[in-house]
């Protein structure tokens, strides 16, 4: 007896392209040249596996700090308690300032003091995002501002192996690498999460893992029987 009740799916190359283009919004993001989903909703410029994981978390009582701003700021602001973003590019600062939600704060900082901006808050955060300039310098400061049970995101971590090593080895964080394609880019890259060992974020509806956007909605016979009981 099969463990699964298998559903038909398109296994062709065209089916794969269609999933990426239509379900993940790759066609929209290429046309807009901004990180957006299939319905033009703002997305972080992370890999799709990282985006899907983050989207399922309950961030409603979490405070976030990010180096860099843009559509990621809107994505997280719609989900979290509060978010502070540091931006050094005048155009991105203007873009973010025009789209701010009440729980957002966007601060402009020159590159020379970009990493140090977090020290001005005298606060700790549940999630810290490193996705802009001087990433190693940002990582050096991030750990001192990370709450118990929190985590750090380093985008393009495959381009920053020494920074990744620092967070994993020196800071003793658990590294989870999420490789894959993402918005805009025609190539794959890595978005990494660095979890405190007492990491305690939960899924917002109690269900984990979620079925991915291009996944097949099916359940094993064992799980199906368990749900009925």
Q: What confidence score (pLDDT) does residue 2 get?
A: 47
Instruction: Give the predicted TM-score (pTM) of the model.
Output: 0.92
Helix H, strand E, coil C: the string for the chain is: CCCECCCCCCCCHHHHHHHHHHHCCHHHHHHHCCCECCCCCECCCCCHHHHHHHHCECCCCCEEEEECCCHHHHHHHCCCCEEEEEECCHHHHHHHHCCCCCCEEEEECCHHHCHHHHHHCCCCEEEEEECCCCHHHHHHHHHHHEEEEEEEEEECHHHCHHHHHHHHHHCCCEEEEEEECCCCCCCCEEEEEEECCCCCCCECCCCCCCCCCCCCCCCEHHHHHHHHC
Q: What is the pLDDT along the chain (229 residues), one digit of tens a residue?
A: 445 555 667 778 888 899 999 999 999 999 999 999 999 999 999 999 999 999 999 999 999 999 999 999 999 999 999 999 999 999 999 999 999 999 999 999 999 999 999 999 889 999 999 999 999 999 999 999 999 999 999 999 999 999 999 999 999 999 999 999 999 999 999 999 999 999 999 999 998 999 999 988 888 888 877 766 5
Q: What is the pLDDT of residue 221?
A: 83
Domains of the chain (ranges, CATH numbers): 40-228 (3.40.50.150)
């Amino acid at each position: 007896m099969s463990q699964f009740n298998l559903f038909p799916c398109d296994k062709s190359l065209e089916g794969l392209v269609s999933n990426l283009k239509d379900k993940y919004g790759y066609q929209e993001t290429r046309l807009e040249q901004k990180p957006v989903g299939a319905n033009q909703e703002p997305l972080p410029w992370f890999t799709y596996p990282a985006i899907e994981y983050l989207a399922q978390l309950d961030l409603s009582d979490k405070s976030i700090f990010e180096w860099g701003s843009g559509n990621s700021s809107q994505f997280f602001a719609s989900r979290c308690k509060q978010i502070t973003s540091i931006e050094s590019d005048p155009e991105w600062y203007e873009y973010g300032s025009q789209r701010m939600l009440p729980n957002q704060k966007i601060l402009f900082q020159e590159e020379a003091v970009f990493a140090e901006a977090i020290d001005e808050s005298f606060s700790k955060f549940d999630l810290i995002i490193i996705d802009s300039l001087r990433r190693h310098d940002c990582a050096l400061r991030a750990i001192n501002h990370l709450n118990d049970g929190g985590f750090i995101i380093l985008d393009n971590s495959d381009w920053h192996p020494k920074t990744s090593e620092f967070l994993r080895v020196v800071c003793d964080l658990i590294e989870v690498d999420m490789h894959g394609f993402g918005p805009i880019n025609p190539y794959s890259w890595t978005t990494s999460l660095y979890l405190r060992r007492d990491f305690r974020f939960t899924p917002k509806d109690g269900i984990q893992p979620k079925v991915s956007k291009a996944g097949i909605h099916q359940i094993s016979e064992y799980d199906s029987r368990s749900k009925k009981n």
